[in-house]
Chains A and B, each alone.
Chain A
Amino acid sequence: MTDAKISIATTSLAGCFGCHMSFLDMDERLVTLLEHVEFNRSPLTDIKHCGPCDIGLVEGGLCNAENVQVLREFRANCKILVAVGACAINGGVPAMRNYFDLHECLEEVYLNGIGVNNPQIPNDVELPLLLDKVRPLSDVVRVDYYLPGCPPSADDFLQLLGPLLEGKQPIFPRNTFHYD
């Protein structure tokens, strides 16, 4: 055994950061975790690009080109990639737009919606371009593990990370995981 810490990167793509909030719900157990873990790219560190890591935790699905690029960066750098939460696993709530055409969605939001001033669909090149459908991570990269929940609880995160930290397969007790 070495004393080297396990490096973890996290990101939220087309999600709500709820999974990250839930991760922080570990509260004081975070302190113990940090004895074994260091964070690479993450909203917790403000590191902008993912370097080589042991574990990548990705919250949210893919709704635009930037999401795809970030996910690919994670896949290229993380030995183990985990799809965290409903959106990462099947698109989740953002994927509800998949039952409409993209132009219908944009017109409703930016042109025809109630209370819209100066109606125009944003087309600035700084803005990530939208995919026609919101996709789960597994449609674009190989995903090693799935952590369901909306959000997964702090306990779920610990159950996942515990065995992973010891280089073992995670076990999901059937009585704890949920999709909502």
Chain B
Amino acid sequence: MQKTNPTIHVDGQEIPFKVGQTIMDAALAAKVYIPHLCHYPGLTPHGNCKLCMVDIGNKNVTACTTAAVAGQQIRNNTETLNAARKTVTQMLFIEGDHICPSCEKTGNCKLQAMAYYLGMLDNHFPQFYPRREMDASHATILLDRSRCILCDLCVRASREVDGKNVFAIAGRSTNAHLIVNSPSGKLGDSNIQTDDLAAHICPVGAILIKEQGYDVPIGQRIYDQQTIRDVGLNEAIPEKQGNHHD
């Protein structure tokens, strides 16, 4: 007999884990979906979006930053949690400019796909209509801050995979916004390149590759065919990346 791995339970399902794994790591490895936006397997978890909230007893934690501990009884796919997740998704929608019909990312947008997954029919809250600076200075990459959900994925992708440090989040409260690490603060003066992960990892339409927005027609895009659950269970940073130094 082999020594049995330690396990956690997610909604009653027993899931093995390796020591050091988070609840999210263990769940995804077992093909159990925990909704997430600011997490991308392979990057350091951050825990800011709060979509991956799960309950353990009377404690609530983010699955992406909480270590799996043997015997944990975790509630994930419950009505209460999905309702709270829907509210958090609505908060992200009203905080920025998320008018899907006018956005190139529509159909490929994770925020939109999360809203579909959670059955979100309306924004519920009055919208904030923030004014945030657009940056079109780069030849091939567009930064539209009004759509940014402050997930920090581009920040981490640039540091951890691209070996650069192109982005950061500045300001606080609802003034928090994405900034670019260059003397002028413009993307065109940074060392980002089109094939950097940071240029592609944006879950929404804040960082876009120019002139590709409509290569795939609306209706035939990722989340027109699959749910965010299907996609989320199967994505991770490819091993070969992490070699862009210039």
Contact = CB atoms under 8 A, between A and B. Distances in A.
Q: Do A and B bind each other?
A: yes
Interface of A: 83, 86, 89-93, 95-96, 98-99, 133, 136, 138-139, 143, 145-148, 150, 172, 174-175, 177-180
Q: Which of B99, B127, B218 is packed against the most chain A CB atoms within 10 Å?
A: B99
A95 B101 CA distance: 11
Contact of A90 (B127, B131, B146): B127
Interface residues of B, number: 26
Contacts of A150: 100-101
A68 to B, nearest CB: 15
A172 B117 CA distance: 12
Contact of A172 (B97, B100, B121, B218): B121
B107 interface: yes
Contacts of A90: 93, 98-99, 122-123, 127
Given A174-B116, A180-B106, A86 B100 contact: yes
15 contacts: A86-B100, A90-B93, A90-B122, A92-B101, A96-B99, A96-B102, A133-B129, A136-B127, A139-B126, A145-B121, A172-B119, A172-B121, A174-B117, A177-B116, A179-B100
Interface string B173-195: 00000000000000000000000
Q: Which of A92, A150, A179 is packed against the most chain B CB atoms within 10 Å?
A: A179
B121 A91 contact: no
Contact of A93 (B98, B99, B117, B224): B99
Q: Which of B93, B106, B115, B121 is packed against the most chain A CB atoms within 10 Å?
A: B121
A99 B97 contact: yes
A178 B225 CA distance: 11
Contacts of B99: 86, 90-93, 95-96
Nearest to B129: A98
Given A93-B102, A95-B99, A174 B123 contact: no
A143 B122 contact: yes
A55 B70 CA distance: 54
A156 B94 CA distance: 25
B213 to A, nearest CB: 13
Contacts of B7: none
Interface string B196-228: 000000000000000000000010000010010
User: Which 7 A-B pairs have CB atoms at the shortest separation, nearest pair first?
Assistant: A179-B100, A150-B101, A146-B121, A180-B106, A146-B122, A98-B129, A180-B100
Contacts of A91: 99, 127
A174 B146 CA distance: 27
A147 B218 CA distance: 19
Contacts of B106: 179-180
A91 B123 CA distance: 11
B112 interface: yes
Nearest to B120: A148
A174 B119 contact: yes
A160 B107 CA distance: 23
Nearest to B119: A174
B122 A179 contact: no
A136 B90 CA distance: 14
Contacts of A146: 121-122
A62 B175 CA distance: 27
A99 B128 CA distance: 10
Nearest to A88: B122
